[in-house]
Amino acid sequence: MKRSTAKIRKMSRRLGIRIYGNEKSALTKRDYPPGAHGPKGRGRRTEYGLQLAEKQKAKIIYNIAERQFRGYYEKATQKKGDSGENLQRLLELRLDNVIYRLGLAKTRNQARQLVNHGFFLINGKKVDIPSCQVRVKDEITIKPQKLKTKVFEPAENNLKKIQLPGWLNFDSQTLKARVVAEPTAAEMERSFNPKLIIEVYSK
């Protein structure tokens, strides 16, 4: 699902979330919804409005279309345990999100593009599907022919800036990563409430 940068930034302001990080977020300069009448703050929403907004946040953050997102909801509700956490875990274990979490891409959109172009291997096999679900013990490496690409030069410095989640292990020298566990609730994206998303779909 491809959206223009301008549209994404507008939606970022409307929903009050930072998608690209502080340095490029529209919220840095204009922390209020878009519109012709200037800052008015964020009006009171109905219960359904709040639930819908949380779903929109998650879809924008992970850059997922409605049909695919509903598929994640259905898988999450079929699993044992908390459906909200299951939904988040499925999103976090997407290959493009893992690449972003490792600091090998500045944004999830960039990570998606790198995966699409076949930059990565999982357990030695090329994978070019951003939505591919990684599993515990999977080893993620960069395709040897792509190692000298400039996009990976700042990887070691990026590790010093980002907080690598405990469910991932990354060697900045060899640029090899391993999924050591499934992400816990505390280690997953905190910008939206997954329980409200489950509620809006279950109606």
Using CA atoms, how far residue 169 sits from 47, 136, 176, 183, in Å, is: 40, 11, 8, 12
Q: So what's the architecture of 5-82+190-202 in CATH?
A: Orthogonal Bundle (1.10)
Residue 3 DSSP SS3 = coil
Q: What are the sequence ranges of the domains in the chain? A: 5-82+190-202, 94-181
Give the chain's mean pLDDT: 84
Q: How far apart are CA 18 and CA 59, in angstroms?
A: 13
Q: How far apart are CA 130 and CA 96, in angstroms?
A: 5
CATH 3.10.290.10 fits 94-181, yes or no: yes
Q: How far apart are CA 184 and CA 167, in angstroms?
A: 8
Give percent of the chain with pLDDT exceeding 70: 75
Q: How far apart are CA 30 and CA 9, in angstroms?
A: 11
This model's pTM is above 0.85? no
Identify the CA nearest to 177 among candidates 187, 186, 167.
Answer: 167
Using CA atoms, how far residue 73 sits from 62, 67, 199, in Å, is: 14, 10, 11
Using CA atoms, how far residue 110 sits from 45, 83, 96, in Å, is: 33, 29, 9
Position 56 scores a pLDDT of 92
Helix 66-78 with 83-92: angle, nearest 10 deg: 130
pLDDT digits (tens, 9 = 90+) for 52-95: 999 999 999 999 999 999 999 999 999 999 999 999 999 999 99
